[in-house]
């Protein structure tokens, strides 16, 4: 009786449980109907959720009331603004004893340069030959301690009476400061975090101009899966929020393109030996590796990859687009493709003037954190000049950038209804020991990864 039942059961199981395929065939990249309205976050076709099944009944963040504000901040009078000899702007960024301190210091220098120029023009309220109030930057160190940014936000609002704040870089720290400012009602110009979720809170007190992880994920996925046509991708990343959120956004796009990364391995910031993780990637037979971490760690990973005989092409997020990586990785960096926050090879007048002024002031080349802080501070100063010393009206002035472009020293920005910069991210590729910059996909048209020096 049992054998008779089994004889009928096995064919039935085969019929109702067909084999599962781990990757979507290339035919899945079928064209989709172009949207009649802009997609959220400049979303490419492949990133549209459920695009083959149904049109969503609700699409968020696509209306001009996304950041609607109906509070009393516009009517609130803060007497200290009138009596203070300076117009105070807060700064929050990692400056000491923090793995992200190099980025925080560059951000601070970019912001300081912009304020020096504003004061040279006469400061707030300058008219003709009459000088106005000077701007003063109230600097706060964003220490690597959970929740510390909330304390600094309160100090800036009530002790220093800042009209607005510029910062920060860590996504969690920025989220906490933003939620505190939901009550404090102080505008935030966020020029450093790559976390795209800070503008998805719909808290109307923050503007973000730095290229975020979502745009970086789109560019990397396009480069890896459509330009290079790779299929088995492995990921190695730090155990940090920066890398966790970034890789998650890359995974989202990869999954929707039918190319789920086959393995993700992790390491602790400051690690020196990556043999265990790299052997795991080797055993997974990956044909490409994505690195998400800091430049010094990325350089070690590249060197150890090549020493193990791993010749797979390597890709990385914008922090790997750094001279430190080139210096420490040497020949092992050849062929690395990264996203990039800025293109320092540009020759437009705005960039060249900023580059020269920054070098004169700080004796180093500006990076993306410096450039976006400079742009963000200039946007903030323009909003203050336009709106006056009223936090609610300053935020209104920043909101005027919705659905508009901005040409700054960092390049072209485009802001959506969440006040997030959704301009596409460019790529850079290491060739002959230097980064070669181009639009998405362009840098991938170079020759294949060379074997020389990698064995």
Mean pLDDT of all residues in the chain? 89
What's the pLDDT at 35?
52
Whether 161 has a pLDDT exceeding 60, the answer reads yes
Whether 166 has a pLDDT exceeding 70, the answer reads yes
- Parallel, antiparallel or unpaired: strands 233-238 and 288-292: parallel
Strands of 87-93's sheet in order across? 135-141, 87-93, 164-167, 188-190, 206-208
User: Cβ atoms within 10 A of the Cβ of 178, count?
Assistant: 20
CA distance 224 to 226: 6
Whether 320 has a pLDDT exceeding 90, the answer reads yes
Whether 271 has a pLDDT exceeding 70, the answer reads yes
Q: Which fold has domain 73-211+346-414?
A: Rossmann fold (3.40.50)
Whether 9 has a pLDDT exceeding 90, the answer reads no
The 10s digit of each residue's pLDDT in 12-27 is 443 444 443 344 444 4
Indicate whether this model's pTM tops 0.85: yes
CA distance 238 to 35: 37
List, in sequence order, every residue forming a beta bridge with 233; answer none if it has no partner: 288
CA distance 168 to 85: 26
What's the pLDDT at 42?
87
Whether 389 has a pLDDT exceeding 80, the answer reads yes
Whether 371 has a pLDDT exceeding 60, the answer reads yes
What's the pLDDT at 412?
95
User: Cβ atoms within 10 A of the Cβ of 101, count?
Assistant: 17
57: confidence class by pLDDT, cuts 50, 70, 90:
confident
Of 91, 88, 85, give the one whose Cα is nearest residue 163: 88
Instruction: Give residue for tokens 């000049």.
Output: 385
Give the tokens for residue 76: 């609130």
What's the pLDDT at 37?
62
CATH of 214-340+426-445 among 3.90.850.10, 3.30.200.20, 3.20.20.140, 3.40.50.2300: 3.40.50.2300
CATH 3.40.50.2300 in the chain, residue ranges: 73-211+346-414, 214-340+426-445
318: confidence class by pLDDT, cuts 50, 70, 90:
very high
CA distance 293 to 93: 19
- Report the greatest alpha carbon distance in the chain: 104
For 69-93, what is the mean pLDDT?
A: 96
Give the tokens for residue 72: 């009393």
The 10s digit of each residue's pLDDT in 334-345 is 999 999 999 999
What's the pLDDT at 316?
97
In the chain, pLDDT over 70 holds for what percent of residues? 88
Whether 446 has a pLDDT exceeding 80, the answer reads no
CA distance 60 to 417: 10
The 10s digit of each residue's pLDDT in 185-239 is 999 999 999 999 999 999 999 999 999 999 999 999 999 999 999 999 999 999 9
Half-sphere exposure of 338 (CA within 13 A, CB side): 29
In the chain, pLDDT over 90 holds for what percent of residues? 79
What's the pLDDT at 327?
97
For 297-310, what is the mean pLDDT?
A: 97
For 310-317, what is the mean pLDDT?
A: 97
Give the tokens for residue 192: 């450093």
Whether 5 has a pLDDT exceeding 60, the answer reads no
Whether 451 has a pLDDT exceeding 90, the answer reads no
The 10s digit of each residue's pLDDT in 117-131 is 999 999 998 887 778
Output DSSP code: residue 314: E
For 439-452, what is the mean pLDDT?
A: 38
Q: Which helix (H) or strand (E) holds 238?
A: strand 233-238
Of 366, 369, 317, 408, give the one whose Cα is nearest residue 95: 369
Burial group, residue 452, by CB count within 10 angstroms (0-12, 13-18, 19+): exposed
CA distance 80 to 83: 5
What's the pLDDT at 272?
96
The 10s digit of each residue's pLDDT in 418-431 is 999 999 999 999 99
């Amino acid at each position: 009786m049992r054998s008779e039942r089994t004889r009928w059961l096995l064919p039935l199981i085969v019929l109702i449980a067909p084999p599962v395929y781990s990757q979507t065939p290339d035919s899945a990249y079928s064209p989709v109907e172009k949207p009649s309205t802009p997609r959220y976050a400049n979303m490419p076709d492949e990133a549209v959720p459920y695009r083959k099944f149904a049109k969503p009944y609700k699409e968020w963040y696509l209306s001009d009331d996304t950041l609607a504000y109906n509070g009393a901040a516009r009517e609130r009078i803060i007497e200290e603004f009138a009596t203070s000899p300076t117009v105070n702007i807060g700064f929050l960024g990692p400056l000491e004893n923090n793995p992200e301190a190099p980025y925080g210091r560059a951000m601070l220098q970019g912001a300081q340069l912009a304020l020096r120029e504003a004061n040279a023009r006469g400061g707030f309220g300058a008219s003709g030959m009459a000088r106005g109030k000077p701007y003063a930057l109230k600097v706060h160190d964003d220490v690597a301690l959970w929740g510390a940014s909330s304390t600094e936000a309160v100090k800036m609002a009530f002790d220093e009476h800042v009209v607005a704040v510029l910062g920060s870089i860590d996504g969690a720290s920025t989220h906490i400061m933003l939620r505190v400012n939901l009550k404090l009602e102080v505008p935030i110009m966020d020029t450093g975090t790559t976390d795209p979720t800070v503008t998805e809170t719909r808290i109307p007190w923050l503007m973000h101009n730095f290229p975020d992880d979502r745009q970086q994920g789109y560019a990397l996925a396009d480069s890896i899966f459509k330009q290079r046509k790779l299929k088995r991708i492995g990921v190695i990343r730090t155990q940090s929020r920066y890398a966790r959120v970034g890789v998650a956004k890359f995974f989202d796009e990869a999954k929707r393109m039918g190319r789920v990364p086959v393995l993700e391995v992790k390491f602790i910031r400051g690690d020196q030996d990556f043999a265990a993780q790299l052997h795991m990637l080797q055993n997974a037979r990956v044909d490409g590796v994505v690195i998400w971490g800091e430049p010094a760690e990325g350089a070690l990973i590249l060197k150890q990859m090549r020493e193990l005989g791993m010749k797979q092409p390597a890709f990385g997020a914008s922090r790997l687009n750094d001279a430190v990586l080139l210096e420490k990785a040497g020949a092992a960096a050849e062929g690395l493709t990264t996203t990039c926050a800025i293109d320092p090879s540009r020759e437009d007048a705005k960039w060249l003037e900023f580059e020269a002024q920054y070098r004169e002031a700080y004796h180093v080349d500006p990076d993306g954190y410096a450039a976006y802080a400079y742009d963000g501070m200039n946007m903030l100063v323009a909003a203050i000049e336009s709106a006056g010393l009223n936090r609610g009206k300053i935020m209104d002035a920043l909101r005027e950038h919705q659905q508009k472009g901005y040409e700054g020293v960092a390049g072209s920005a485009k802001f959506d209804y969440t006040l997030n910069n959704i301009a596409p991210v460019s790529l850079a590729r290491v060739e002959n020991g230097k980064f070669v910059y181009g639009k998405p996909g362009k840098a991938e048209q170079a020759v294949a990864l060379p074997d020389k020096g990698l064995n």
